[in-house]
Structure 1
Amino acid sequence: MQVVQTLESVSVNTDDFLMFKYFQDLIRKNFSKVIGNKNKTLSFFVENEIPQRRYFLKLVNHKYKKNTGNQIDNLAFAHYKTFKLNLAQANTLKPVIFAKIGFAQKNILITLSSNEKMFAVYLEQYFKDHKSMYDEKNCIFSVEYKDDNTLNLLEILASVNEHLKYCVDFTINETQLLEFRNKMKNKANTNWKFNALAKLFENYFQTLGCNSSDDFATIRQNYLNLVKIYHPDRHQGKSKIEQAYCREEFEKIQLAYESLKSLYKNNT
């Protein structure tokens, strides 16, 4: 038994004739707008049949869970879709992939039930404007969060079960998704504030030979290198003019470092 969802339909595919007959009888008995033949039955949405349609989906979900051990995701509004019941010939059902979606730091992790390289390439193309990689050993496809459109793409991907030659059963924790979305939005707001302040501190970055895209470790290393060069103790034997110049540079370096240290500290 397979359940395949698109944006317009919910398809129940089975090669079990008794199961097909069971669902076909339910559809013909409870829904008015029905067409089909001995191997396929379609039920179109009718406004006053919403209760029956919701109940039908509960029965499908119950059978699916009993058959596969998994629940069907994204059923909240599935009663608005066209129902398609298909009797498939034995061994002609599409291979099934179970895909568990999780989150780690700024990455979305899609853990596959088996090593399907073709599907991994498909995911890479789907998230083509993102940084992504596939760990064949652990069957984990990871994609780095870019902006809110990343999660929009993820939700569209998970709302459809049929991809390439596969029937994909996505599992996603809605609470974890919401937490990740909020975390990334907060981080984006923090980065925006940091970049705005970094423009005001541009002279300090230049003083240390850095730019705002550098991490604090780079800032600190440049600072240590420069204070060794301009520390007043290293120039005591030089002329008064050279000593004054080095002291002035040393103080500028100190001021720049302390200012940037405060900026990075507030951004963590």
Structure 2
Amino acid sequence: MRTSRLWTSSLLATLLVGLGGTLAAVPAAQADTVLPPLPTAPEGDVPGVNDWGCRPTAARPVPVVLVHGTFGDRRHLLERLSKAILATGSCLFSLDYGNRGTDDVVRAAGQLKTFVDKVRAATGAAKVSLVGHSQGGMMPRYYIKNLGGAAHVDDLVGIAPSNHGTRLIPSANPVAALVPGLICVSCNQQAWGSAFLRELNAGDETPGDVSYTQITSRYDEVVVPHTSGYLAPGPRTTNVTIQDKCRFTIAEHVLIPMDNAAIGMTLDALAHAGPADPSYQPRC
């Protein structure tokens, strides 16, 4: 039953993110959607996440903030990753933003900034590391580039990030013409060639003294092609596809945050200075 729900979520995400392909020229900032406030995680946090009394240690001095994707929330799909990060001894925090990530990405980045400021104030840490799934891997780049985040972020790990958007064919979505932008502003902004992404990716794609790790799946059915999640090569950038590490893994867009290789590469990125080691071999 759980697997069935995950695949249903995957199909929904594929359909709705694909709506963005019809409106590739939307402006970077616009009104929020017509959706009412949506529920997030009724069970609350994974135990240990959002412990505002947590203090970083000498071994793990940088708190970690998890950032969910479009239609996601601070808990679901991220439980296994949360437990793996907590097991390293890191302070771990996670937020809900943008009415399940459907609202304007610019507004969402402002919410991330506020949350990071709260984490830094509570923990006394100068910087945090950000780990995000899908939109959650891309949206923090707006915070880093435009909202002062470059001074406060150590690592950004994107798991199936929508850095350059999706090329999903609009004609495959028969409802696209009926609801353009009404239920998912951020979907439009994540379309390949959108005005938002052109602005975000103009100039230096990896600004600041931030380490960037992008983890993708060859079977991603939402961020298409999966290599659109990659960022420009550089000394602080690692781009990796999980099938190059674990040949037989079938994790796609929805399941990738739970994949052993994706979690292993994330933990490696957080364990040392710089991005994930491209030669690191995670457990498959």
* TM-score (ref. length: structure 1): 0.22
Structure having the higher helix fraction is: 1
- Bigger CA radius of gyration: 1
Asked which structure has the greater RCO (Cα within 8 Å, sep 6+), the reply is 2
Structure having the higher strand fraction is: 1
